[in-house]
Amino acid sequence: MDTRLKYFEPDQEIVTLLAKGLNCHPLLATLLCARGITSLGKARFFLNPSFEKLIDPFLLKDMDKAVERILIAVQNKEKILVFGDFDADGVTATALLSDFLEYCDANVSWYIPHRIKEGYSLQLDNIQMAIEQEIDLIITVDCGVNSNEAVKKANLEDIDVIITDHHEPGPTLPSAMAVIDPKREDCRSGLGYLAGVGVAFFLVMALRKFFREKKFWEDIPEPNLADYLDLFAIGTIGDMVPLINENRVLCVAGLRKIKQGTRLGLKFIAQNSRIDLKKIDSDDISFKIVPRINAAGRISHARICVSLLMATDINNAEKTALLLDNLNIKRQRIEQEIVLNIEHRLGKNPDLLKKKLLFLWDDKWNPSVLGIAASKLSKKYYCPVILLSSEGEYAIGSGRSINNINIYQALLESEVLLEKFGGHAMASGLTVKKNNLELLGQNLNRYMEEIYSEKKFLKTLTIDAILDFDDINFTLAKEIDRLRPFGMANPEPVFMCKNIRVRSSHIIGNSHRKMILEKADPRCRHQVEAFHFNITSPDDLPDYYPKIAFKLKINKFQTNAAQIIIEDL
C-alpha cells in the first residue's frame, strides 16, 4: 500500500525563539512546535514536568462523596472489595488502590473477573459473590460506568458501590453512591485523557488529602504516592491514552520509579523480557511488559498479575514472572495462527479487502487474542477490523480502527443487533448472536460507506523534518529523547533522509534486515546502524534508497551511539 507523506512546516520565528530560550538544538524546537508547544513556559514544563501544576483531584465529580464513604469503611473495618478489569490498565489500577488501602489497614480484598467465563465489568453474578462474602463496599477500577443492573442489585442488598472508570458512560449513569469518571458530561475536571489507573491514582490522591484533614495519619506516616507511579506509568502507557498534561507528568515520574527496581514483580518481568531497567523507556513498556501482563488475562487469569505486582516474596515473584513469560509465548503462538488463517482466507478471497471494514469470524478462534490480531491486520491493510469467535450461540469479538474512524459509533448504530458492546473510537469489544453476524457485517460496512470518504482510508505518514545524513548521531538522538515518553498525542518523531546507500546488511530471523547505511556520496564516510523490521521480500533487497523515513533512537547496546528504525522506503 502506498503511503502519503505529509511534511510538517514550522514557524521559523517560533523555532528560533524556542531554540534560543531553551538553549537546545533547532530540531528539538521544531518538534515542540509540531506538538503545539510554542511558548517558552509550556516548552520548559514539557521538557521538565513537575507535580506543581497537577489538577486538584476533588474537581472530579463525586470525589467528595467517595472519600467520605471510604474513610468510614476504613475506620469501621467494613469489608471493601476492589473490583478491576483484566487488562494492564485494570490490573495496575487494582494493585494500586488495593496496596493503598492495605497500607491504611483497611479490611480489603480484590477481584478480577475471568475474561471469557465472566466477561468485562461488574455483573449480577459478581454482586451475588459479594453478598456471599458479606462485602459492605465495592470500589470498581477501570470499569463499572455502564454496570447499571449490577449496581441496582447491590443497592437492594445494602452494598454500597463506588465506581471509578474512564470509559464512555451510557445515557444513564448507574445509581452508585459515587460515579467518578472524567468522561461524565457533568464532570468539569478536564481529565478525560486519564486511563483507569489514572482515575484510581487521583482517588488515592484525594484520599490521602482527606485522611490528612481528618487526622488519620497521626498514628502512621503518610504514604508516599510516588511509590505508586510505576503502576500508573504501566497502566497509562499500556492503555494508549494521550500522554499529555497529568499523564505526561506522572508517567515521567513513573519511569524514574521503575528504574529504581523496587517493585519485585516488575523487576522480574523486566529480567525475563531482557530489559535493562536503568534504560527502560515507553517502547519497552508497550512492547515487552504490557503484553506479558495482558497475556495472563488472555490465556489464563489476570489475577496472576495483581498478585505479582503486589508481591513481597522474591521466590514467588520470580516464579510468577516466569509463568507470565510462558503465557506470553503461548499467546503469541495462538495469535500468529489466527493471523495466518486470516491471511490465507484473504488470499483466496481478495474481494474482502475491497470493503471499508474487514469483518470476519470463525468457530476455532480464541476470543482472548482477537484484539491483538485485529490491531495487526488494521495496521497492515489500513482499515477497521472486527474479528469474532463464533464457537457457541453467541459470537464474542474485538474491533480495532485507524485514522480516528469511530468503530464504537459504528457499533452504536447497529446496537439493535448486539447483545452487548463497549469501548471507544479506536477499540471495541462486542457480543452478538451467531445468526446476526452476516447482517451486522453488512450494516457496519454500509455505515462506513455512508460516513467516511476514501481519504480516511489512505495511509499517511507525517515527516517531522528532513535531516542531512551526517547530522545523525548520538547527541541528536539524546536531544530527541527529551520528548519521551512517546505515545498517543505525543508520537515518536519521524524523519527523512535522501540519497542513501546500504554499506552492508544481513537478515535477522526471517524478516528483519540489519544494515549499515551511509550517504551515497564517496566524500561522506559517516555510517549509521539501521533496522528494517517485517520486510516483505527478503530475497529482493536494494542497496540504494532515494529516500528513507525513519525514527532516530539511542542505541541501548553501544555506548554513545545512535541507530535508526526504518518506517517507510
- Distance from C-alpha of 551 to C-alpha of 294, rounded to nearest angstrom: 27
| Average pLDDT value for the chain | 94
For residue range 106-124, list pLDDT tens digits in order.
Answer: 999 999 999 888 888 999 9
Predicted pLDDT of residue 460: 87
Amino acid at 187: C
Predicted pLDDT of residue 114: 92
* Cell (9 digits) for 235: 497502566
Residue 2 burial (CB count, 10 A): 7
Average pLDDT over residues 174-187: 97
Q: The whole model's pTM is what?
A: 0.92
SS3 195: coil
Average pLDDT over residues 402-420: 92
- Residues 212, 222 contacting (CB under 8 angstroms): yes
- Residues 374, 387 contacting (CB under 8 angstroms): yes
* Cell (9 digits) for 469: 545524513
- Distance from C-alpha of 455 to C-alpha of 449, rounded to nearest angstrom: 12
The DSSP code sequence of 133-165 is TT-SEEEEES--TT-HHHHHHHHHTT-EEEEE-
For residue range 69-90, list pLDDT tens digits in order.
Answer: 999 999 999 999 999 999 999 9
Predicted pLDDT of residue 524: 80
Chain CA centroid to CA 247, Å: 12
Amino acid at 17: L
Average pLDDT over residues 438-458: 94
- Distance from C-alpha of 456 to C-alpha of 155, rounded to nearest angstrom: 46
* 296, 302, 306, 311 alpha-carbon torsion, rounded to 10°: -40
For residue range 196-235, list pLDDT tens digits in order.
Answer: 999 999 999 999 999 999 999 998 999 999 999 999 999 9
Query: Domains in the chain, ordered, with CATH?
Result: 4-10+461-568 (2.40.50.460), 57-256 (3.90.1640.30), 261-331 (no CATH), 349-457 (3.10.310.30)
> In sequence order, what are the beta bridge partners of 295?
none
Closest alpha carbon to 236 in 200, 189, 186, 184: 200
Average pLDDT over residues 469-488: 93
Predicted pLDDT of residue 1: 55
Label residue 523 by pLDDT band (50, 70, 90): confident
Label residue 3 by pLDDT band (50, 70, 90): confident
Predicted pLDDT of residue 525: 82
Average pLDDT over residues 168-181: 95
Asked if residue 12 has pLDDT above 80, the reply is yes
Instruction: Please report, for residues 277, 284, 324, 364, the alpha-carbon distance to residue 311 in angstroms, rounded to integers and kept in the order given.
Output: 18, 21, 14, 36
Average pLDDT over residues 431-446: 96
